Amino acid sequence: MLCCTGSKDSNLNTSNNKVLRMKCFDVWTRVLTIGVALTLASTVYATEYQGSGQVVFEGSSTLHGFSGAVPLEHLIVKLERSSPDPIQTIEAEASVSVSKMNTQNSGRDKKMRAMFGADQWPTISGRISQSKVDLDQFRGKKSQPTPRETSASPNTTTGEPLKLALTIRNKTVDLPVQLWGFQELPDGSISIAMSFNVSLQSFQLKPPTVMGLIRVADLVRIHAELVLRPIETSQP
């Protein structure tokens, strides 16, 4: 307590008191500096986003290829970052309505919705659970990755592909996802795209046929360009 309160001994001269006060000031300056540094180092920024966009799916058959689209029914994304670390923890959940999937062919759309069991399972949903990514690595990627890149490319800090838990009907399968086209917009929104491949067989879905001759191929390519708008920001 001597350093912090000064000496009460009347025998100490003025110069000794000045030295003690200077040492006291120096100690407290260092303590405050360390405290501020620790506070900044542990600051966590968490932002929740509401997203919009359209999911495009592309497939092929024994006759020709086809594509379709469905608007996102629901998309919530949470990004969390500990300053000054650029690595972010991402969580996301999304869903689409099977009844709104459209390939511009009413007969094909009817068969597709029957395959998904739209009457009993009207929604297809997906979830990404607490994966660590460095979004800056996707900033320079302007073009959609190939199906092979989507399946194989590691894009998390653990060296593993980002995983999407996709639920179709009553079955959930973890699928590797590739992010691309990351951009921060002036209004605080984020633009980003994602791609992944879906095997109908992995969901125990029987591809539809036409007259027993034309059959849809097993692999369906999915990609979506998304806009995420912040809805809540918290800083401890």
For residue 28, the surrounding DSSP H or E stretch is helix 14-41
Q: Taking residues 195-202, report their average pLDDT.
A: 94
Residues 6 or more apart in contact with residue 89 via CB below 8 angstroms: 79, 80, 81, 130, 131, 132
Domain count, the chain: 2
Strand partners, 227: 52, 191
Radius of gyration of the CA atoms of the chain, in A: 28
- With 0-12 / 13-18 / 19 or more C-beta atoms within 10 angstroms meaning exposed / middle / buried, residue 88 is buried
pLDDT at 21: 60
Backbone angles phi, psi at 22, to 5 degrees: -65, -40
**Does one domain contain both 131 and 142?**
yes
Strand partners, 226: 53, 192
12-40 pLDDT, tens per residue? 455 556 555 665 556 555 545 554 444 44
56-71 pLDDT, tens per residue? 999 988 778 889 999 9
Q: Taking residues 205-217, report their average pLDDT.
A: 76
Q: Taking residues 219-223, report their average pLDDT.
A: 93
Cβ(177)–Cβ(195) under 8 Å? yes
pLDDT at 3: 45
**Does one domain contain both 7 and 65?**
no
**Does one domain contain both 29 and 101?**
no
**Does one domain contain both 183 and 85?**
yes
> Distance (Å, rounded) from C-alpha 235 to C-alpha 151?
36
Cβ(224)–Cβ(55) under 8 Å? yes
- DSSP 8-class letter at 203: G
**Does one domain contain both 106 and 201?**
yes
> Distance (Å, rounded) from C-alpha 38 to C-alpha 86?
17
Strand partners, 179: 194
**Does one domain contain both 29 and 143?**
no
**Does one domain contain both 79 and 195?**
yes
Q: How far apart are the first and last CA of the chain?
A: 33
Model-wide pTM > 0.85: no
pLDDT higher at 82 or 233: 82
Supply the CATH number for residue 167's domain. 2.40.128.110
2-11 pLDDT, tens per residue? 344 444 455 5
Q: Taking residues 203-213, report their average pLDDT.
A: 78
> Distance (Å, rounded) from C-alpha 30 to C-alpha 3?
14
Backbone angles phi, psi at 93, to 5 degrees: -145, 140
Q: Which range marks the domain in which residue 6 is found? A: 2-40
